[in-house]
Copies of this chain bind each other. A is one copy, B any other.
Amino acid sequence: MAAWSSSPSLRHLLLLRPRLPLSPTCLAGSFSRRHIHSHSRRRFLSSASSSMLTHGDEASTHVDANGVVDVNPPRGTRDFPPEDMRLRTWLFDQFREVSRLMAFEEVDFPVLESEALFIRKAGEEITQQLYNFEDKGGRRVVLRPEITPSLARLVIKQGKSVSLPLKWFTIGQCWRYERMTRGRRREHYQWNMDIFGVPKVRAEAELLQAIVLLFQRLGITSSDVGIRVSSRKVLLAVLNMYSIPEHLFTQVCVIVDKFGKLTREEIEKELMSTGLSSEAVQGIIEVLSLKSLSKLEEVLGSGVEAVADLKKLFSFAEQYGYADWICFDASVVRGLAYYTGIVFEAFDREGKLRAICGGGRYDKLLSTFGSEDIPACGFGFGDAVIVELLKEKGLLPDMSRQIDDIVFPLDEVLEGPASSIASSLRKKGRAVDLVEDKRLKWVFKHAERINASRLILVGNSEWERGMVRVKILSTREEYEVKADELD
């Protein structure tokens, strides 16, 4: 379930490719036309100021003529210094906590996978940007662009030994490679939740609760964020209405997913090129513009699976209590080839950002790997857009350090006692920073900076009596205590 962060802005394209002829034809050309979407542009600009989202420097990592190593991580990748790591850990903890509440089990897979898992012919962006290469043994491998195929692989591998349904989640890094752009990220982390073995939309209803629970834990409300829901069976029904062969289904889905990125004319052209009649193309485009379930029922008829599934899901939403978060929007199809039923994506209601997460049902993925199908659905939730949203809403929590004690010997001869005091406090479960060779003034500043609760000063005159001086930093209270009575 890839939910990559944004495309580069038009401005970037213009600045960085000066030799590019700037005719409208070119901008609507095959590699660049989707970059003219204005939301993408705004998102990109805002992300540039976010530390969680810091891009690798433009320069590639290398050694210069003086033997100086480039200190930036490889282009498009991130380091996580302590403050960024605290933010990441906090976010992942939220993912994990929601997964726990939903009774999902955590799994993981190698970040390096066989390329064969990701080769699909539907023209998806994700498979066009594989970070693939040949290993030294001549095998085609890839830094995974998404996690779902690995999940499917493990489900097949486990075979009869597991009892369905399976409810699995994972948080892992995913990669993509693009040649032409600069400043775009090549990796992100993604939280995935997947259910295998539940054919009913109950599974989708559970996934949607997980997403809403996450938003609620983060302080995000249903006036900040909504979840658009549709079903690929809507498109299937339209294809049936026009007697379009089903083998075109996946291709049509991948094309119509570009709505909002391409112009209507471009979409029509791509659809026509698959061999569809212009009548069918108009029919598809009309249905995709529907935003009401009753209208959909009118157009497709109530006997259609798409309508029944969606009605059921909206009724579940009422019962779970998250109906105000979701809305029907036929234009949602998602970009992955393998979705077969309900699809959904979360979006910020101000329309500034790209999709926050996305997912859907993929009942036929296992057979593409040569195995028997198991009904399945899941979502991917990236680490980038959500952090931007939290920043924008002022919802990021205080990310400062938190230390229990600083132990500071006032004299070098007291390093022994300081060692045993620090050691014994740690054994009691306290987080202790042992500081030496600094001035007292530095130590006080340091204590403030790392939010220490106590300062434990080991001085000569106190130590002669087996005592240390304790300072509670919040209250500025100070007292002496026997070293072995500290706790």
Q: Which residues of A contact B (CB under 8 A)?
A: 60-64, 66-75, 77-82, 85-86, 88-89, 100-103, 105-114, 116-117, 131, 133-137, 139, 141, 143, 150, 153-154, 156-158, 163, 167-168, 173, 175, 177, 179, 187, 200, 202, 205-206, 209, 213, 216, 315-316, 319-322, 369-371, 401, 403, 415-417, 419-420, 422-424, 426-427, 429-434, 436-437, 446, 449-450
Contacts and interface: CB of A to CB of B under 8 A. Distances in A.
> How many of these chains are in the complex?
2
B139 A426 contact: no
Contacts of A422: 320
A112 B426 contact: no
Contacts of A108: 79-80, 85, 88
Given A74-B110, A154-B79, A423-B209, A85 B61 contact: no
A446 B133 contact: no
B431 A370 contact: no
Nearest to A67: B370
Q: Which 10 A-B pairs have the closest CB atoms?
A: A68-B370, A61-B114, A77-B110, A103-B433, A82-B105, A71-B157, A319-B419, A80-B108, A69-B369, A320-B423
A377 to B, nearest CB: 15
A69 B370 contact: yes
Contact of A77 (B77, B82, B112, B433): B112
A79 B112 contact: no
Given A71-B153, A319-B423, 19 more contacts: A61-B139, A68-B370, A71-B371, A74-B113, A74-B114, A78-B110, A81-B154, A85-B107, A101-B430, A101-B431, A102-B432, A103-B432, A112-B187, A200-B436, A200-B437, A202-B434, A209-B426, A316-B419, A319-B417
A108 B173 CA distance: 12
B420 A81 contact: no
B100 A156 contact: no
Contacts of A133: 133-136
Nearest to A317: B419
A109 to B, nearest CB: 5
